Amino acid sequence: MKPYCGESAALKDTAVSFLDRLADVTIYMHWAVYVGKGTVHGLENIKNDDEDIFHITGYVFPKASDCLFGKMNEISGKPWKFNYLDGEIKVRSTNDMKKVIRKMHKNCRMWDLFMNNCEHVATYIRYGEKHFKQIGAKAAGLCKLKFPTFTYEDEL
């Protein structure tokens, strides 16, 4: 992962995938949006300076899951930038991504493998569309099953 300088560079290169491997087989990829460390204009008061990603989590008391800021170095797997839809779908502006993150922070419904997972959240923030492909992972076979996704608050 290349180092990022400043908030605009961080949000333009947003989708980060974490490979989780068992031997030499990638089982699944966890997706997050890289927002950068330090103060990020537009995300003040909701992000701590040492947090650098935004993602849907596993269990967070008292909810089953939520969209929160986190630290890249605390996620298992090797991080890498993977914006596979660039060139196919228009990328949202940095300000639009920040607006979506503010709306989704602690408000993105319960995690669901098929209807509301980490790849849905990351691609929705970056492109305004939810995608679930798990390209290159064993979980990609599950993506052939098409389910309706949850509707986020700003989609209404």
- pLDDT tens digits, one per residue of 38-72: 999 999 999 999 999 999 987 666 667 889 999 98
Q: Distance from first CA to last CA of the chain, Å, rounded? A: 35
Starting at the earlier edge strand, list the strands of the sheet with 78-81. 67-70, 53-56, 25-34, 15-22, 78-81
Question: pTM for the full model?
Answer: 0.74
The total of structural domains in the chain comes to 1
Flag whether 2 is in a domain.
no
Q: What is the CATH number of the domain that holds 24?
A: 3.90.1720.10
Q: What is the pLDDT of residue 59?
A: 64
Is residue 114 in a domain?
yes
Q: Which domain, by its residues, includes 67?
A: 7-151
Q: How confident is the model at residue 18 (pLDDT cuts 50, 70, 90)?
A: low
pLDDT at position 134: 63
Q: Answer yes or no: is pLDDT of 78 > 90.
A: no
User: 154 with 145: CB under 8 angstroms?
Assistant: no
The reply to whether 1 falls in a domain is no
Mean pLDDT of 83-108: 91
